[in-house]
Amino acid sequence: MQEPERRRRDPEARRRAIVEATAELITEVGVDAVTHRMIASRAAVPLGATTQYFDTLDDLRAAALQLMIDHVEEQMEVLRTALAERGASPAVLAEIIHAALVDAAAVQTDRAVVTAAVRDPQLRAMARRWSEQVASFLEPEHGAERAVAASVFIDGILWYTQINDDPLPQHIIESALAGILGAPIP
């Protein structure tokens, strides 16, 4: 009789599953509410696996937040590239923002990191840097003050989307950005 084939262990895949589960849970319940038990259940791993790969819950949370930060950084690069290629008009901005708002998970990820930044000075510096980046993308075309105001408005749109069932309509985003940026509406 032949022995059943053993599944090969893939420690890196298990570690990644634990980090991804933690990131999902942070998005859903907040960074402070996440527990080892919740993470193990979500990742479908034994409870001890969470401590096998991470010394503390804080280490695990940090790894998950880094994963989330990397995702937001990728989105920032997409925004930068799109604005560089298409210009930073209110219409282009509204189109890009509205398209991004449809991805509820991405909005939740962004907001979870920003919420965690309220208590964490390192994350706070990063969240400020993201706002500064958005403003820097807009500044050459619209000036520093209007770029900062638009960045604050965009941040507000993300909060609005997080607490409402539907994203803000694109035409409202465009109209508000036109007013903020001092650009005529076509």
Q: Give 86-145 pLDDT, tens digit per residue.
A: 999 999 999 999 999 988 888 888 888 888 888 888 888 888 999 999 999 999 999 999
For residue 4, give the DSSP letter: P
Residues 6+ apart with CB under 8 A from 101: 107, 157, 158, 161, 167, 168
Say what the pLDDT of residue 115 is.
87
- pLDDT at residue 6 is higher than 80: no
Q: Give 23-64 pLDDT, tens digit per residue.
A: 999 988 888 899 999 999 999 999 999 999 999 999 999 999
Say what the pLDDT of residue 184 is.
61
Among 110, 135, 102, 112, residue whose Cα is nearest residue 33:
112
Say what the pLDDT of residue 116 is.
87
Task: Give the pTM.
Answer: 0.80
Say what the pLDDT of residue 16 is.
95
Among 141, 151, 143, residue whose Cα is nearest residue 84:
141
Say what the pLDDT of residue 123 is.
84
Q: Are 137 and 80 in contact (CB under 8 A)?
A: yes
Say what the pLDDT of residue 185 is.
57
The stretch 149-173 carries a mean pLDDT of 93
